[in-house]
Amino acid sequence: MAQQSIGLTAFGGYIPRLRLQRKAIAQANAWVAPNFLGKGKGERSMANWDEDAVTMAVEAARDLLGPDDDRSHVDALFFGSTTMPFRDRLNAGIISAALTLNETVRAVDVSSTQRAGTSALLQALTAVKAGDAKHALVLAADHRKTRAASAQELDFGDGAAAVSVGTENIIAEYLGGTSLTVDFVDHFRGETEDFDYNWEERWIRDEGYTKIVPRAIKAALDNAGVKADEIKHFILPTTFGTKFVETLAKKSGIAPEAARDTLAANCGETGAAHSLVLLVHTLQKEAKPGDKVLVLHFGGGCDALVFEVTDKLASQAGKRGIVGSLANRQEETNYLKFLTFNGLIEWEKGMRAEQDKKTALTTLYRNEDMIMGLVGGRCTETGVVQFPRSRISVNPNNHTVDTQEPYKFAERKAKILSWSADFLSFSMNPPHHYGMVVFDEGGRIMMDFTDVEQGAVDSGMDVRLVFRIKDFDERRGFRRYFWKAVPVAGANAKSKTGQAAE
């Protein structure tokens, strides 16, 4: 009996639209670190103040899943990250709630290693192969803190990627792979620390990558039954540059030209997500049916996975992915804003910020679908939709009782009815933009706006809804999430700076 094929069935991606110019970082720190002036080229992705690994993963997943409200086919969710916002709370559970997945979904957090993304993917492939899951969703995202005036501040970036694993409509068949576990410590972050402690680069390059990665490549190719010269796309996240990736490829018998761009110039290294970020970018931009792809991720050893692209890849043509995310960019030159958004400086927030932001966990649980999934109500008798859902319909002509069924707003088309740019209320990125959003199919919600610049919002603009951080409860270490509106025209207009996006 022939073994059933398994592999990737879809992809999605998300890179925050803010791009901090490395020149701004280098110039701001030139007085203490003049050696970084030579690295002040290009840009790195920069998460907004209300973004973290969870919100970015949600956006990548929404790109993969599309606007369809029915997501009951997803029966497993694996989330890989080293920067999960909660140490003891199921972060994948937050994502599941935002995506309105069924409560029977198997949700797993994978962390504590830069290989979290590829390890999550390997777990999904194993689960599908064993029959424990039919449609597994794999997400990887990172939003790492870095010390000011460090090389990592220049090298890193924020982002997320998503792939789904199944046995039908495969866009890239999994041929085989391996996972080497080697306690080679190139960096670490202790339990009480906010920042990574990094070891010497030459040691990491020469004793780590150069000796461990080739062993993983050989084992993966042997397991997959693929020869080195058959690899058309060689993916290896690293801050050592594409030339180094080409050298490792050649050392393993793979053509140097198979080495894919590490996106160092216009994104930065997105941590545990970066192997999947590069995989999605490659599938969008360069891969063709029949091509064999080798994906690696180094860290505490090395993961290596071999895929073969199929003609089903064309089904993903409409996805935003990584290519689309890189194209939608807003140049940022304010280094102080970057430090503020990442909590690296203490600043005077004013008396209006002095309030207890304790979250009522009982209320959050009882209204989870409304708060996390933006699920309102639709009257089964009159068809009127509303948010929030209630026992009594808002229809002025027919106040029906207990006739509402769940109605999901997150993927619906909407416009700005009215808005305000408020300098009086506290905002992490003043002015505080908010307003009334009306939906094409009915219903309206008062919402915060995000990813918008002053003067780039107006009534009548289309908006898309995004899952973001609503508030930080700094006393208890809890962060509350909700949905916000992004003015589409404003975002597009601000991204046209003339710089190549890819």
Describe the crossing of helices 242-251 and 210-224 by its angle, rounded to 10 degrees: 60
pLDDT digit string (tens) for 412-447?
999 999 999 999 888 999 999 999 999 999 999 999
CA-wise closest residue to 140 among 89, 84, 101, 178? 84
* Rounded-to-integer distance, Cα 311 and Cα 455, Å: 45
* Per-residue burial over 256-274, b = 16 or more CB atoms within 10 Å of its CB, e = otherwise: eebbbbbbbebbbbbbbbb
> Which residues, at least 6 apart from 148, have a Cβ–Cβ distance to it below 8 Å?
29, 339, 344
DSSP state of 3: P
Computed over every residue of the chain, the mean pLDDT equals 94
* pLDDT (average), residues 374-390: 95
User: Residue 291: its pLDDT value, please?
Assistant: 98
pLDDT in tens, 236-272: 999 999 999 999 999 999 999 999 999 999 999 999 9
Q: Is the pLDDT of residue 497 over 80?
A: no
CA 242, CA 230: separation in Å to the nearest integer?
20
In the three-class reduction of DSSP (H, G, I as helix; E, B as strand; rest coil), residue 45 is classed as strand
Query: Can you give the pLDDT at residue 3?
Result: 75
Distances (CA, A) of 382 to 374, 377, 405, 407: 21, 12, 12, 14
Integer Rg of the chain from CA: 23
Which amino acid makes up residue 80? G
Helix or strand holding residue 129 (H, E): helix 116-130
Lowest-pLDDT range of 329-343, 348-362, 488-502: 488-502
What is the CA 224 to chain-centroid distance, rounded?
A: 29
Residue 353 pLDDT class (50, 70, 90 cuts) = confident
Beta bridge partners of 279: none
Going by pLDDT thresholds of 50, 70 and 90, the confidence category of residue 2 is low
Q: What is the pLDDT of residues 5-25, one digit of tens each?
A: 999 999 999 999 999 999 999
Mean pLDDT of 206-228: 98
Quote the crossing angle between the two packed helices 274-285 and 116-130, to the nearest 10°. 70
Q: Tell me: the pLDDT tens digits for 96-146?
A: 999 999 999 999 999 999 999 999 999 999 999 999 999 999 999 999 999
Contacts 24+ apart (CB under 8 A), 199-203: 201/240
d(CA 221, CA 199): 30
Tokens of 10: 């879809």
With a pLDDT cut of 90, the percent of the chain lying above it is: 91
Q: What's the CA angle centered on 381, arms 376 and 384, to 5 degrees? A: 40
